[in-house]
């Protein structure tokens, strides 16, 4: 158990209450009072396997127009003219050969070199020009009907909320990941680990009606502060005795249930991780690397359970992507860390035999402008995303890459490109692979029926 110093020998009523409240405050994020019954439906037939999705959120808005860049003469010239001093040198781009023909040849940013092999062997896919869309929309329609745009389109907080809820309007505070896990509860009836785990503080993405997220540190589970030195500590002993007492009041029973669950999960995960051999794969010594290393350890540990089948959803995050300033200095570092961490994670999945069962995908509140502000870029709209895993239809750019021209066919204003793929389509493709049927996908993303395609085809069955 995690220990905490206690100053002084006397156990006063005030100190006891402080310790009790400290234990409640130290609960893993999301272990609050349970919600009302959620949208639980029957699980798909034959879905009794293990699958995991890992959402890698890039806080701030990734300037992905420098992530995947046209290399052909006309395409690169348009790109360079639009990007100005932010353009990546053509001869430094890492050539890729998508399985299907795009309008131009493309290359990856040179700092993404660790991901090149994954693209070439078919583990990595690019999904082009994704963004929050209430319906299919042209740039002209976006200019003419501003009331139909997602509210506060270029606001970090609003767009982060919309991306994580999957809804292009203000929501009821439930994330699409949490709502998805509510629907998939029948698959987890025998699964003995938390189905939704965040390693980046409490996440809106994982908030559901019934399923609650567990906040796991990159260094392992943290015990309740109230347990102090363990059961031999007088406060810990008193606390555990209180948990064993029967309760009549509904709120008291719920509080006790949550506290017991926190203790049980701590002990279960600690036991699995403590007995686990170290992975041979080495992760970068960065915050994101530590988060993904812990995700890999948890996924590896579930193989030691009596019932390892089920569904798990993870949330990790990396900051620093709001590149208004110093983009030429910061972006190579951001991409270098991202690529090294993603590559290490996929190597770990190969090591533990989970490459086809685990898919990692990027998310971010918006793309950025084509135009340079002199030292960086401003908030945009559409942007590209990466999907990594053995079940990915990789080695491919899915969707149509946009023409990178200021004032071009997709430019709404100031180099902000209207998305050609909706966030709901991107997310629904992942959720379909995860186990949802078409009716459940339409319940999860009500506006999805306005789009021609629900499944974008970047996930294999």
Question: Which tokens belong to 399?
Answer: 């969707």
Model confidence over 139-156: pLDDT tens digits? 999 999 999 999 999 999
CA end-to-end span of the chain, whole Å?
42
Structure confidence at residue 206 (pLDDT) = 98
Structure confidence at residue 232 (pLDDT) = 67
Nearest to 207 by CA among 235, 167, 236, 237: 167
* H-type alpha helices, 156-232: 156-165, 176-183
| DSSP state letter for 68 | E
b/e per residue 236-258 (b: at least 16 CB within 10 A): beebbeeeeeeeeeeeeeeebeb
pLDDT tens-place values along the chain, 461 residues long: 333 332 333 444 433 443 343 333 333 333 333 333 333 344 443 345 899 999 999 999 999 999 999 998 899 999 999 999 999 999 999 999 998 877 789 999 999 999 999 999 999 999 999 999 999 999 999 999 999 999 999 999 999 999 999 999 877 789 999 999 999 999 988 787 899 999 998 899 999 999 989 999 999 887 655 555 555 677 667 766 776 777 776 776 666 666 667 777 777 888 888 888 899 999 999 999 999 999 999 999 987 766 677 999 999 999 999 999 999 999 999 999 999 999 999 999 999 999 999 999 999 999 999 999 999 999 999 999 999 999 999 999 999 999 999 999 999 999 999 999 999 999 999 999 999 999 999 999 999 999 999 999 999 98
C-alpha to C-alpha distance for 298 and 324, rounded to whole angstroms:
36
Find the helix packing angle between 234-244 and 250-274, rounded to 10°: 120
Q: In the sheet that 94-96 helps form, which strands lie side by side, from edge to edge?
A: 68-70, 106-108, 94-96
Dihedral of alpha carbons 61, 297, 122, 442, sign: negative
Specify the 3-state DSSP secondary structure of 193. coil
Specify the 3-state DSSP secondary structure of 351. helix
Residues 6+ apart with CB under 8 A from 407: none
Structure confidence at residue 224 (pLDDT) = 59
Structure confidence at residue 245 (pLDDT) = 76
Question: How many angstroms from the chain centroid is the CA of residue 290?
Answer: 15
Question: Which tokens belong to 278?
Answer: 């170290």
Question: Which tokens belong to 309?
Answer: 């089948």
Contact between 107 and 438 (Cβ < 8 Å): no
Match 């909320």 to its residue by tokens: 161
Model confidence over 288-299: pLDDT tens digits? 999 999 999 999
Total residues belonging to the chain: 461
Q: What is the three-state SS of 12-47? A: CHHHHHHHHHHHHHCCCCCCCCCCCCCCCCCCCCCC
Question: Which tokens belong to 245?
Answer: 């007492």
C-alpha to C-alpha distance for 38 and 420, rounded to whole angstroms:
32
Question: Which tokens belong to 458?
Answer: 């970047």
Alpha-carbon separation of residue 26 from 29, 49, 206, 239, 298 (angstroms): 8, 33, 19, 14, 21
Nearest to 359 by CA among 132, 149, 56: 56
Alpha-carbon separation of residue 362 from 116, 352, 429, 431 (angstroms): 16, 22, 14, 14
What is the biggest distance separating any 2 CA atoms in the chain, rounded to whole angstroms? 78
Contact between 349 and 87 (Cβ < 8 Å): no
Cα-trace Rg, the chain: 23
Q: Could you state, in order of their start, the residue ranges of all structural domains in the chain?
A: 13-450
Dihedral of alpha carbons 95, 100, 103, 109, sign: negative
Question: How many angstroms from the chain centroid is the CA of residue 62?
Answer: 14
Residues 6+ apart with CB under 8 A from 14: none
């Amino acid at each position: 158990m995690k220990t905490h110093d206690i100053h002084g020998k006397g156990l006063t009523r005030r100190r006891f209450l402080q310790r009790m409240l400290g234990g409640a405050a130290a609960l893993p994020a999301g272990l609050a009072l349970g919600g009302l019954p959620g949208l639980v439906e029957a699980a798909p037939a034959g879905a009794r396997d293990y699958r995991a999705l890992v959402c890698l959120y890039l806080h701030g808005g990734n300037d992905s127009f420098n992530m995947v860049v046209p290399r052909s003469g006309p395409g690169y010239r348009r790109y360079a003219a639009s990007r100005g001093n932010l353009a990546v040198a053509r001869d430094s781009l890492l050539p890729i050969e998508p399985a299907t023909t795009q309008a131009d040849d493309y290359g990856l940013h040179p700092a993404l070199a660790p991901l090149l092999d994954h693209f070439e062997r078919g583990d990595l896919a690019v999904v082009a020009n994704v963004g929050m869309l209430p319906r299919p929309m042209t740039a002209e329609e976006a200019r003419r009907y501003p009331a139909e745009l997602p509210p506060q389109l270029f606001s970090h907080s609003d767009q982060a909320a919309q991306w994580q809820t999957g809804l292009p309007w203000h929501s009821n505070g439930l994330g699409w990941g949490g709502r998805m896990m509510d629907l998939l509860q029948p698959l987890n009836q025998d699964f003995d680990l938390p189905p939704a785990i965040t390693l980046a503080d409490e996440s809106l993405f994982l908030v559901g009606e019934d399923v609650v997220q567990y906040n796991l540190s990159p260094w392992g589970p943290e015990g309740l502060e109230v347990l102090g030195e363990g059961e031999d500590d007088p406060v810990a002993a008193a606390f555990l005795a209180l948990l064993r007492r029967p309760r009549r009041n509904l709120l008291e029973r719920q509080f006790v249930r949550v506290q017991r669950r926190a203790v049980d999960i701590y002990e279960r995960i600690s036991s699995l991780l403590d007995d686990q051999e170290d992975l041979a794969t080495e992760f970068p010594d960065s915050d994101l690397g530590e988060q993904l290393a812990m995700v890999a350890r948890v996924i590896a540990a579930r193989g030691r359970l009596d019932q390892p089948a089920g569904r798990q959803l993870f949330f990790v995050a990396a900051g620093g992507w709001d590149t208004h300033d110093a983009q030429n200095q910061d972006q190579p570092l951001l991409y270098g860390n991202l690529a090294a961490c993603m590559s290490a994670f996929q190597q770990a999945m190969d090591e533990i035999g989970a490459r086809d069962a685990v898919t990692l995908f990027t998310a971010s509140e918006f793309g950025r402008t084509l135009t340079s502000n002199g030292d960086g870029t401003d908030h945009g709209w559409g942007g590209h995303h990466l999907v990594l895993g053995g079940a990915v239809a990789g080695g491919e750019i899915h969707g149509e890459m946009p023409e990178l021209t200021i004032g071009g066919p997709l430019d709404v204003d100031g180099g902000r490109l209207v998305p050609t793929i909706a966030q709901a389509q991107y997310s629904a493709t992942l959720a379909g692979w995860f186990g949802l049927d078409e009716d459940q996908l339409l319940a999860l993303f009500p506006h999805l029926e306005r789009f021609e395609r629900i499944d974008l085809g970047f996930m294999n069955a």
